[in-house]
Amino acid sequence: MTARASDDPRDLPIPDAFARRMAALLDELDARAVLESLSAEPRRAVRANPRRATLDEVVQLTGWRLQELPWSPEAGLLSDPDVTRPGNHPLHAAGAFYLQDPTATAAATALAVTPGEWVADLAAAPGGKATALGARLEGQGVLLANDVHRARVEVLARNLERFGIRNAIVTQADPSELADRLAGRFDAVLLDAPCSGEAMFQKSLDARRDWSLDLVRRNAQRQGPLLDAASDLLKAGGRLVYATCTFSPEENEGVVGETLLRRADLHPAASPLSFVARGHASAVGVEEVLPDEAVARLWPHHAPGAGHVITNLERVDAPPPETRRSGKKRQDLAFKPPSRTTLEAWHTFRTAALTGVDTDLENEDTLRERAGVLWRVADLDLLDALSGVTVLRPGLALGRVQRDRFEPAHALAMALDPSATHSVVELSLDGPSLPRWLAGEELDVEERDVTWSGDGSAGYALLVTAGMPLGWTRRSGTRLRNLYPKGLRQR
């Protein structure tokens, strides 16, 4: 089968073998409706960041029409055809919302995390589900966000930073490496497993071109070990969500059912999701161990979005976590207590720029330094246990010493409430200065749509719009230096 020159996946027919499988799994009308849905225009959801704004507030600030999704009250279906580039809205840069496939928003809801829990997202890039989990933790507990691909994990880290998630440890590792070091430590684990991507037929030319029955079988074979690693991370009573963006029973009910047959410590759990179809365990002969009530199938012809399959599990028994440390420390990447120079510079900055109401930043026991960057580590014991694993971010980046002064990190700005800073510069959401700022231009504090609050002195100030942080600026006279990261600037 040869693709045409167009990049539109709808110019390439859906594979005949996939169509026959849908006809065997569903009745005639549903099977035809699935194929039609996968050839329709992709739908988008706007998922609000509750640490910034409610979905209603996003609607008020943007003027967009959003239809709330029944399985995710934080997310709304974007039904305004005139909104063509929502990712360029300034509130996206401020971390007020995340753009996501509507059905993909259901996985984080199904895991039902609460503040203070230890949560792991094992295939977390680009960050849609990780940002949702992190926001629900409300800065308490720990989020371990992992992906095996370096380029993708960098995007994951940036999205967590944009959302102001300060208690996330970002790693690049095979899930089995994490299970070796962190077995039995987590309250909840999400595994959005790599799969044959049948739901991606709606928007991916490669997904249509590369799909085959052999691809389905190969994915099912590698998903089993991933699910074992995810299960091993759980403590007794811990919850697990196994999700895919494919409809194949072999990669969903089949993988879960075979795992349940091998593991007495893992049980199915009823899905908390409503307005969804249930599983097809009988299609792969695992109905005796996996009730359909544990599986939520979000079909694209029943729900807005490309489709997702989500299974809820619980670990009923687990050995206590081991205290041994695996792996070998790589001294060139070691996180060490900060140097005296760094600590003194941090003290000077903190006194001048921060009010002290953010007590997390007053605790110096969790400070560590690597390659000149000062970090507030999310959990020191967890970081120690990860020795030998590639840790991109151990928590919240505070900044580094440059030219004899402390230069605060963009991540710190995004994690702060404006009340925690002495000086705030507010840019009008609808004014001309905000687009110029996001493009990298300097501003003048006397411009009409710029409001300065605070002591008005030279030095660092938090730049915000609609009360939400966008980054740092540094005042020199009436000029506001643009410190927005170059890689994020909009042209």
CA distance 398 to 411: 7
Question: What is the DSSP code string of 366-399?
Answer: TEEEETTEEEEES-HHHHHHTTTSEEEESEEEEE
Distance of CA 55 to the CA centre of its chain: 18
Gap between the terminal Cα atoms of the chain: 39
Nearest Cα residue to 324 out of 469, 180, 116? 180
How far is C-alpha 32 from the geometric centre of its chain's CA atoms? 33
Residue with tokens 């697990």: 240
Is 245 catalytic? The answer is yes
Tell which residue, 84, 77, 81, 80, has the closest CA to residue 47: 77
Q: Which tokens is 444 given?
A: 């003048």
Q: ∠ at Cα 38 (34, 39), nearest 5°? A: 120
| Distance (Å, whole) CA 66 – CA 49 | 15
3-state secondary structure of 47: strand
Beta strand pairing call for 118-121 and 186-192: parallel
Catalytic residue among 48, 119, 153, 245: 245
3 state DSSP class of 337: coil
User: 50: buried, middle or exposed (CB in 10 Å: 19+, 13-18, 0-12)?
Assistant: middle
Q: Which long-range contacts (CB under 8 A, 24 or more apart) does 407-411 make?
A: 408/349, 408/353, 408/460, 408/472, 409/373, 410/161, 410/471, 410/472, 410/483, 410/484, 410/485, 410/488, 411/161, 411/166
Interacting residues of 154 by C-beta distance below 8 A, sequence separation 6+:
392
Dmax (CA) for the chain in angstroms is 73
- Supply the residues annotated as catalytic: 245
